[in-house]
Chain A
Amino acid sequence: MIPAPAFLANPERFMAFSRWAAPALGVIAVVLALVGLWLGWSAPPDYQQGETVRIMFIHVPAAIMAMFVYACLGVASFLALVYRHVLADCAAQSAAVLGTGFTGLALVTGSLWGRPMWGAWWVWDARLTSVLVLFLFYVAYLSLRASIDDETKGSRAAAILALVGLINLPIVHFSVYWWNSLHQGSSMFTPGALAPVYAWPLYVMLLAYLAGFGSLWLVRIRGEVWRRRAEAAALRAARG
């Protein structure tokens, strides 16, 4: 059996860890975001895209987080499904809420960037369409959980759906290479593809989004642990 991280298997240890880790990550996220925004707005306009390049500093991290959070949802769903870890189920549910936000942000900010650059708010391009499918997987996961009264059955069905949706992640990533696309290819992790004056604010903003997600994820999981404790106590009281 694959040993799960100790904090995933032990709610008490997780609650002790997240009590200080959540606010610490929150502070780190705010500081990094302020630095990233300062650097981003200090960069000169791009020679091709002009001032719209500033949308990159909020759009690209949101798009990367949309995929990263779905990967977290997939891992947590796997652990919840196979090992029946309650905390893993809490983590999956919490990740889905946050991932929906990041994916929605990637779509909306991308649309606001696309209109002045491509002349269209939306095109049925492989990258845009696969990210829309990712958004629909998040919505379907949350809807499926909410639609089944028995929470255990609901979480198992949603976990299976989350695992099926993992197949969309490589499609999102490689869509710009597999099909003709208006969307540019990956430049963030390609050496030399971005001038340092744009790359640095982008890296700092990505770290800010990562820290922000970490903080909010821990807070949401803590809330889920308390919800289940409250409901378990109410059930015990009702049984007398």
Chain B
Amino acid sequence: MAPIPDLSAGKYGAYIWPAYAITAAVFAILIAGALGHARRWKKKAEEATRK
């Protein structure tokens, strides 16, 4: 049987949860930045080659 995660971080929750939240935020920024950059320039490249 798979172990059950225990999400109670106890007295250290004030350090653990911000660390996870910041990690999630940075990954969200990196993913949104990479996808946005690629989509924007793909569109511009297609427009430029059509002209």
Residues in B with CB closer than 8 Å to A54 are 9, 16
Number of interface residues, chain B, beta carbon within 8 A: 38
Q: Is the interface of B mostly helix, strand, loop or mixed?
A: helix
B26-42 residues at the A interface, CB under 8 angstroms: 26-27, 29-31, 33-35, 37-42
State which size class the interface on A falls in: 35 or more
Residue from the list A51, A115, A229, A237 in contact with B45, Cβ < 8 A: A229
| Residues 87-132 of A contacting B (Cβ, < 8 Å) | 97-98, 101, 104-105, 108-109, 112-113, 115-116
A230 contacts B41, C-beta separation under 8 Å: yes
Are A101 and B34 neighbours in the complex by a CB distance under 8 Å?
A: no
Q: Among residues 1 to 51 in chain B, which have CB atoms less than 8 Å away from a CB atom of chain A?
A: 2-7, 9-13, 15-16, 18-20, 22-23, 26-27, 29-31, 33-35, 37-42, 44-45, 47-49, 51
Check A223/B34 contact, CB under 8 A, given A55-B16, A230-B41: yes
Query: Within 8 Å CB of B37, what residues of A?
Result: 219-220, 223, 227
B35: chain A residues at CB < 8 Å are: 219
Rounded to whole angstroms, the CA-CA distance of A128 and B23 in the bound complex is 18
CA distance A211 to B9 in the complex (A): 28
- Cβ B44 vs Cβ A116 within 8 A: no
Q: Is the CB of B5 within 8 A of A229?
A: no
Q: Which residues of B contact A108 (CB under 8 A)?
A: 19, 22
Alpha-carbon gap, A234 to B33, bound state (A): 24
Q: How distant is the Cα of A58 from the Cα of B42 in the complex, in angstroms?
A: 33
